Structure 1
Amino acid sequence: MGGGGFSMEPDNPLLDAYVVAQARKKNPAVCFFPHATDDATRYALNFFKAFSRLDARPAFLSLFTPPTADLESYLLEQDVIYVGGGNTRNMLALWREWGLDKILQKAYAEGVVLAGISAGANCWFEECSTDSVPGKLSVLACLGILKGSFCPHYDGEAERRPTLHQFHLTGQMKAGYAADDGAAGHFIDDVFSGGVSSRPWAKVYGLRLEDGSVVEEVLPTRFLGV
């Protein structure tokens, strides 16, 4: 998700309900990762409030008081892993220290649904556009579960689009995707299968460099409302 979900749209559950619906069974176990923020308790509480209203069994993973020493077994028992927003750089450093980068790769291979907003969307790609360092946008290497690059908040933050175009023009960033607030890309077996949105105008985009120019393509994005 470029933006949206319970943390940005608490009264609009369309994207979160869509995530839950992708699980392989009814009433799925959904584990929330609040690791990108320094206010994890509040973030997790808001997650529980939102997902308790959906057909889901919410839980969250604290790395200060982990539920078990065997995090791999714990996470492979989940049906959905949902990653919150915040500082992508700090989150990835924490994951690598705990070995979550490798566990998440295994979870994906075994069919666990991986989802998230902003930093929680950035993390799945080879690289992303991030504001992890205050005052500027920069390119950051991520997990590489999905090929290419990603940029969130494409219509929600004024500097996102021009900076992303510049990253592509200067060869700093690979071809990839961007998503407006309220829009999400859905990938199945590493392949983009379409976009969905909680706002009628929100879109997902494909970006690539072609003959020295940035090509920005609006990708098919289905509004989840009526």
Structure 2
Amino acid sequence: MPADAPTILATSGGIRASPRLPWVPGPLTRHAVELAGTTGRAPRVCFLATAVGDDARVINTFYGSAVNEGWQPSHLALFPMPNIEDVREHLLTRDVVWVFGGSVAGLLAMWRLHGLDEIFREAWQAGVVLTGVSAGSICWHAGGTTDSFGPDLRPITDGLGLLPHSNGVHYDSEPGRRPLFQRLIADGTLPPGFATDDGVGLLYRDTELVEALAEKREAGAYRVDRGPDGTAVETALDVRRLS
């Protein structure tokens, strides 16, 4: 059963450390799966590691953790060629698409090359829950800040634009993220948007932010607007803590 409305949970988290695997799904990703509303069967979760070049170790970790979660896992790889014959049919029959972090610039280029930009819009409108971390958060928005081009953060302004807002990730853990995000909104490079500390996600229904959710204590979420004097105005949002 698809979600009741087009749904995106964009995060700076969703994974946690594990003694048995490099990482396992965290509360934010589990919540994204719950939002799909599947009952009586295993949720169908498709994983994309495009942003790390379809690294086999990352994909294998997903399968190991997904089985433990009771999900029906699949993955879409694009290197060296798509591993699925009918990508559109596959994605439209998933409950959740989970996008891993890495290079958002590389991810967007590969997705557009393979027509995934249009397929994801169709899947989103059909009720497939879209979620992801870092690059897998920025990609759904109009743009954000990225280290895709080198260690110095730069703007990225060609996100898929399912959400018309900008997106700031790792707002508390990478010192350059906050000032650059604010500056880019202040000068009009990016539209107003929302930012997340590590361990926080933004839940959107259609294009409206419904709530901010956290899997870490003290982590925050913020709205950043362009003020009338051309400066950035940051407002802390209420955050609901996931148990």
Same topology, TM > 0.5: yes
What pairs up with 1:43-58 in 2 under 5 angstroms?
Answer: 43-58=58-73
What pairs up with 1:1-226 in 2 under 5 angstroms?
Answer: 1-6=10-15, 10=23, 13-26=26-39, 27-38=42-53, 40-63=55-78, 64-140=80-156, 141-212=158-229, 213-225=231-243
With a CA cutoff of 8 Å and minimum separation of 6, indicate the structure with the bigger relative contact order.
2
Superposition RMSD in Å: 1.7
TM-score (norm 1): 0.93
Aligned partner of residue 45 in structure 1, secondary structure: helix
**Which residue identity is paired with 2:12?**
G
Q: CA deviation at 1:164?
A: 1.2
Distance 1:165 1:191 in 2: 21
Distance 1:13 1:31 in 2: 16
Count of residue pairs the alignment pairs up: 225
**Which residue identity is paired with 2:240?**
R
| CA-to-aligned-CA distance 1:142-169 (integer Å, 9 cap, x gap) | 0000111001100010111111111122
Unaligned runs of 5+ in 2: 1-9
Unaligned runs of 5+ in 1: none
| CA-to-aligned-CA distance 1:64-101 (integer Å, 9 cap, x gap) | 35343321111101110010000000111000110011
Distance 1:168 1:122 in 2: 15
Q: CA deviation at 1:50?
A: 2.3
Distance 1:204 1:51 in 2: 28
Greater mean alpha carbon deviation, residues 185-194 or residues 65-74:
65-74
Distance 2:25 2:117 in 1: 31
Distance 2:148 2:95 in 1: 29
Q: CA deviation at 1:184?
A: 0.2
Q: CA deviation at 1:120?
A: 0.3
Deviation above 4 Å: which 4+ runs of structure 1? none
Distance 1:43 1:200 in 2: 27
Aligned partner of residue 192 in structure 1, secondary structure: strand
